[in-house]
Amino acid sequence: MRLVFLGAPGVGKGTQAERLAAQFRHPKISTGDILREAVRNKTALGLEAKACMDQGKLVPDAVVVGIVKEKLAEPSCAGGFLLDGFPRTVKQAEELTAVLEARNQRLDRVVNFAVPRAEVVRRLSGRRSCPKCGAVFHVDSAPPKRAGICDRCGAELVQRSDDRAETVEARLSVYEEQTAPLIAYYRQRDVLSEVDGSGAIEEVYKRLLELLAARGLT
């Protein structure tokens, strides 16, 4: 199966991609992971990406697409892959289509995880992180045993700046402006499906499997 997972920050698409990848033994490919891998391996594109990041600049589309292209060419992706959070723009989607067509391949399905905006804000703004060991909690769904204290190491939990409600709202606005048009792009190509991302992780995963089974992908 060759899949793309779409959805705003906080909808849980990364978690679902990890579960599906583990069950069906397909690589999960996220832009952040492969960018860091390319930088670590000091590939030509990785060095170009690092130069941009060191200057606080966005990594250009051409570099991101190039790194994705290199990843998809690896033997581990021959039997299928799950793209998590890529493409982010219609331009990147068009580039991805071209890359796959050059290999006589196509996407089997693009899955959009839909969660009400208010719920996304609640999920993200409720996160609390441990600055010492990196553990993550949630004030509602996964609270620490002692309020404000990390269960693992006893450090005081903090709310990251990008998890504050006003920052989350800004991130969602950027998503809706830049990435949401992908929904229309893939719907026009009759490859888009939507999964309700609300509820427990197990419930969402069950819906995802049912969708893929209905499409003959599992």
The verdict on residue 126 lying in a domain is no
Return the CATH number at 14.
3.40.50.300
Lookup: tokens for 190: 């009759």
The verdict on residue 182 lying in a domain is yes
Lookup: tokens for 87: 């493409």
pLDDT in tens, 17-28: 999 999 999 999
User: What is the rounded CA–CA span in Å between residue 15 and residue 115?
Assistant: 14
Q: Residue 21 to residues 26, 33, 99, 174: CA-CA distances in angstroms?
A: 5, 15, 22, 28
Average confidence score pLDDT of the chain: 90
Structural Rg of the chain based on CA atoms: 18
The better pLDDT of the pair 90, 59 is held by: 90
The verdict on residue 189 lying in a domain is yes
pLDDT beyond 80 at 54 = no
User: What is the rounded CA–CA span in Å between residue 125 and residue 138?
Assistant: 9
Domain count, the chain: 1
The verdict on residue 104 lying in a domain is yes
User: What is the rounded CA–CA span in Å between residue 141 and residue 135?
Assistant: 14
The verdict on residue 72 lying in a domain is no
The verdict on residue 35 lying in a domain is no
pLDDT in tens, 86-135: 898 899 999 999 999 999 999 999 999 999 999 999 999 999 999 999 89
Helices (H), ranges, 116-200: 117-125, 165-178, 181-188
Residues labelled catalytic: 13, 88, 127, 160, 171
The pLDDT value given to residue 11: 92
User: What is the rounded CA–CA span in Å between residue 131 and residue 157?
Assistant: 7
pLDDT beyond 80 at 149 = yes
The verdict on residue 16 lying in a domain is yes
29 forms beta bridges with 83
Residue 96 domain boundaries: 2-26+79-115+176-214
In terms of Cβ atoms closer than 10 Å to its own Cβ (0-12, 13-18, 19+), residue 41 is: exposed
pLDDT beyond 80 at 213 = yes
Count of all residues that appear for the chain in the document: 218
Omega before 87 within 30 of 0, i.e. cis: yes
Whole-structure pTM value: 0.84
The verdict on residue 74 lying in a domain is no
